[in-house]
Amino acid sequence: MTIKLLVVDDSALMRRQLTQCFEQEPQFIIRQARNGREAVAMNQEFEPDVITLDINMPEMDGLTALSHIMASRPVAVVMVSSLTEKGALATFEALALGAVDYIAKPGGTISLSMASIQTELVNRVKAAARARIKPLAQTARGLTTRLQEERAVMKNRASQTAKDEAEGLVLIGVSTGGPGTLERILPRLPAGFPFPVIVAQHMPPFFTGPFANRMNGLCELSVTEVNRPMPVMPGTVYIAKGGTDTTVALRDGKLTVLPRPESSRHLWHPSVEVLGRSALQQCEARQLIGVMLTGMGHDGAEAFTELKKQGGRTIAESEESAIVFGMPKELIERGGASLVLPAEKIANQLISWTRP
C-alpha cells in the first residue's frame, strides 16, 4: 500500500528530520510544505493520504490550515505538537476540527529525539492512512461550545444526586481517535450516573490534565485526572494520568484509583490491561463494565475478555464508527465483546445497564 505523505513544518531542520523518519519505508511518497498556506494548496495539488501538521507556523498556523483542509479536501491529519500544556490544548482543538491523531514533539537535540519517536510516528501515520475521516469541523466546534454552556449549569446537580459509594465501575480503554470519540460518549451520561467511570486513554504526560479539564467542561459528571490516590466516587470520570498506569486498589476498605509507574511488561500507557486486571482483583466481574473504543493494537483485550468470561459485561465499538478498528476488533475476535455498538449508542447502553 503506497501512502502519499505531506510533511508540514516551518522549521527546515524539523521537516528534514520528519522526512528521514519515513524515507526508510518504501511505501511512502513524501512532499513538504513550509507553512499552513502551502499545506492547504498542496493538499489539493499533491492529494496526500496523510498530513503531519505543525501547530505554530507563520503566514497560516496549523489550526487555521486544518480548518481549510477539512472543509475543502478532508484527509487524515496527524498533529505534531509541543509537549506542553499549551501544546496539548491546541491539539485537542485540532482533534475537534477533524485531525485523527497527534504525536508529541520531542525536546532536546532534534536528531536524537526524533530517533526516539520514529517507530511510533511511522506507526501512527500508517494507522492514520487507514482511518475513517470525519470532516465535521464546524459541527464539532459548535457542539463543544453548546455543551460547555449546558454542562456548567448541570454540574452541581451531578454531585448532589450521586451516591456515596459505587455499585460498580465502567472501565474504558481507548487510543488513536480517542478524544473525539470520548466527546461523543461521556457528555451523554446524565447527572447521577451511578457507576464511576475510569478511562485509560493512551496519552503522554502534559496531555491528560488539559484533556480532563476540557472534558469536565463538556460533561454533567465531574472529570478529573488521576494524579494522586483518589477514592472512587459515583458522579465522577477518572482520566488516567499520562506517563503512569492507573490501578484500582482497596484503601481503608474503600475502592481507590491511584497512579503507579508505567509497567515495562506493557507496550501502551496508560495501560488498559493494567487497569482491567486491577479492577478484576478488587471487584466481582458482575460489577464491572468494560468499553473498548478506537485505537491501534490489542491493549486491554485480554483483561476485558476475562472480565466477560467471569460474568461482567463489555462493549466493543463497531467498525462503522471507529476511527481505527484495531483495539475493538481484537476484543471481538477473542470473543470478549458482549455487544458491538457504534459510539453514538454506547452511552445509552451504559445508562440502560446501570439503571436500578
Catalytic residue set: 175, 202, 299
**Are the CB atoms for 168 and 283 separated by under 8 Å?**
yes
- For residue 193, what are the contacts with CB-CB under 8 A and spacing of at least 6? 158, 220, 221, 234, 235, 350, 351, 354
Going by the DSSP 8-state scheme, the letter that residue 313 receives in this structure is E
End-to-end C-alpha distance for the chain, whole angstroms: 50
| Alpha-carbon torsion angle 266, 268, 270, 276, nearest 10 | -60
CA distances from 159 to 146, 156, 340 (A): 21, 5, 31
**Residue carrying the nine cell digits 497527534:** 102
CA-CA distance, 180 to 201, in Å (whole number)?
A: 12
DSSP 287: G
DSSP secondary structure letter of residue 129? H
For 188, the grid coordinates are 451523554
The C-alpha cell at 56 is 505554530
* Spatial contact of 95 and 135, defined as CB atoms under 8 Å apart: no
What is d(CA 177, CA 162) in angstroms, rounded to the nearest whole number?
30
Secondary structure in 3-state letters for 11-35: CHHHHHHHHHHHHCCCCEEEEEECC
Asked if residue 257 lies in contact with residue 238, where contact means CB atoms within 8 angstroms, the answer is yes
Say if CB 126 and CB 92 are below 8 A apart.
no
Reduced to 3 states, what is the DSSP secondary structure of residue 111?
helix
Distance (Å, whole) CA 277 – CA 303: 6
